[in-house]
């Protein structure tokens, strides 16, 4: 946008609270189930996340505007926007407690239990996006809030790996969180889950080794984040019994899988080129973006991913879109569902990666077992 600072207003200012609709949905489901006795209402959250939002996103249009640079500093400092990310956390944790209680004492059948699992897993998976927003900031309090948001999924090491690993190696074959052309999500999942864990541990051990300090301390950011998960799970188990442990573990797997499917689509097949001594600098060409308005509102503009990688501490309300960034055929809400079906994903995405590199597969980040097929 080129509008003058004196007249520019954030037209989405009062749409941003929509991001807390998802963590409110478990409480809505509980209220309806309590009144009607129909356990199928525990599927409300997955229905909204995986069906309603993608459908609305199709018709919601694009938002291609950027805030003027002369107002960016004031907009970045506006605490209204960060308070909205803070608000997600108590709703997220309240939903986890509600889920544990219902799992233990709600008299749920298998359909209700499965719906509850997916519901709480989805809420905690989307919470990782709030953790992602908070974890990049300089303020110590926000970085600790990020770890709290990661605790229900047991994915506290993401705080280390994402900031110090992924942002350094993004769009290279060395990055476990960058998916490769021809690699299905189901192949990517074990590679990124195990690779990210190993990377986080190595990065934190290296930090302590360089300082000649003992890593087995509360100052270890991997250990203190995991400790939060242990304390949380032990407290819920003490409150509701050992019966809630399967619930806690399974919802955590669903939650961090939600994160990893987003990782899968963000850099699929994109590659920074080797200059002879190092990889080229990260720019707007190395992330898949989308300007779909609705999903951007629900995900704190995660879809403006290129600007995030170029400017990690830039807050979500001032992230920019670039004409030169590769664009997904739909918003993240839709593409998350598509990624679960590899033939459909390959149909929509493989030719886009190949076209992005002018047909030269040597420029793409290719899954080696699929290289011959891709060449055809």
- The tens digit of pLDDT for each residue in 149-189 reads 999 999 999 999 999 999 999 999 999 999 999 999 999 99
C-beta separation of 186 from 342 below 8 A:
yes
- 322 domain residue, yes or no: yes
**Taking 50 as the threshold, does the pLDDT of residue 4 lie above it?**
no
- 355 domain residue, yes or no: no
- 357 domain residue, yes or no: no
- 153 domain residue, yes or no: yes
Chain segment 103-123, per-residue pLDDT in tens: 999 889 999 999 999 999 999
Q: What percent of the chain has pLDDT over 90?
A: 81
Kindly state the DSSP code that residue 181 receives in the 8-state scheme: B
- 374 domain residue, yes or no: no
Total number of domains constituting the chain: 1
Question: How far apart (Å, rounded) are the C-alpha atoms in residues 295 and 147?
Answer: 24
Average pLDDT, the chain: 92
Stretch 273-298: mean pLDDT, rounded? 93
- 370 domain residue, yes or no: no
Collapse the DSSP code of 34 into the 3-class scheme (helix H, G, I; strand E, B; otherwise coil) and give the result.
helix
**Taking 60 as the threshold, does the pLDDT of residue 5 lie above it?**
no
- 20 domain residue, yes or no: yes
* Domain residue limits at 277: 16-336
- 106 domain residue, yes or no: yes
Give the Cα-Cα-Cα angle 265, 266, 271 (nearest 5 degrees). 105
Question: How far apart (Å, rounded) are the C-alpha atoms in residues 176 and 181?
Answer: 14
């Amino acid at each position: 946008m080129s509008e003058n600072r004196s007249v520019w207003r954030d037209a989405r200012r009062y749409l941003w609270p929509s991001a807390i609709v998802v963590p409110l949905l478990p409480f809505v489901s509980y209220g309806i189930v309590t009144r009607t006795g129909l356990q199928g209402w525990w599927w409300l959250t997955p229905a909204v996340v995986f069906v309603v939002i993608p459908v609305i996103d199709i018709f919601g249009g694009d938002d291609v505007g950027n805030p003027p640079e002369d107002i960016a500093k004031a907009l970045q400092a506006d605490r209204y926007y960060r308070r909205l990310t803070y608000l997600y956390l108590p709703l997220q944790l309240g939903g986890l407690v509600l889920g544990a209680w219902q799992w233990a004492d709600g008299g749920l059948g298998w359909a209700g239990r499965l719906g509850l699992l997916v519901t709480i897993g989805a809420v905690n998976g989307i919470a990782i996006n709030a953790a992602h927003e908070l974890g990049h900031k300089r303020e110590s309090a926000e970085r600790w809030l990020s770890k709290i948001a990661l605790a229900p999924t047991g994915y506290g090491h993401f705080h280390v790996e994402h900031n110090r690993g992924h942002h350094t190696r993004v769009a290279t074959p060395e990055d476990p969180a960058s998916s490769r052309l021809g690699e299905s999500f189901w192949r990517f999942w074990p590679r990124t889950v195990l690779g990210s864990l190993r990377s986080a541990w190595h990065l934190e051990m290296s930090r302590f080794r360089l300082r000649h300090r003992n890593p087995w301390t509360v100052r270890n950011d991997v250990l203190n984040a995991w400790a939060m998960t242990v304390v949380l799970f032990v407290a819920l188990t003490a409150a509701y019994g050992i019966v809630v442990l399967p619930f806690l573990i399974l919802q955590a797997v669903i939650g961090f899988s939600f994160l990893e499917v987003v990782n899968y689509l963000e850099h699929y097949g994109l590659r920074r080129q080797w200059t002879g001594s190092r990889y080229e600098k990260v720019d707007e060409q190395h992330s898949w973006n989308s300007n779909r308005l609705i999903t951007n509102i629900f995900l704190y503009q995660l879809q403006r991913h290129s600007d995030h990688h170029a400017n990690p501490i830039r807050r979500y309300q001032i992230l920019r879109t670039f004409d030169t960034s590769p664009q997904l055929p739909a918003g993240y809400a839709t593409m998350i569902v598509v990624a679960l079906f590899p033939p459909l994903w390959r149909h929509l995405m493989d030719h886009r990666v190949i076209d992005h590199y002018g047909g030269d597969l040597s420029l793409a980040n290719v899954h080696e077992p699929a290289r011959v097929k891709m060449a055809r």
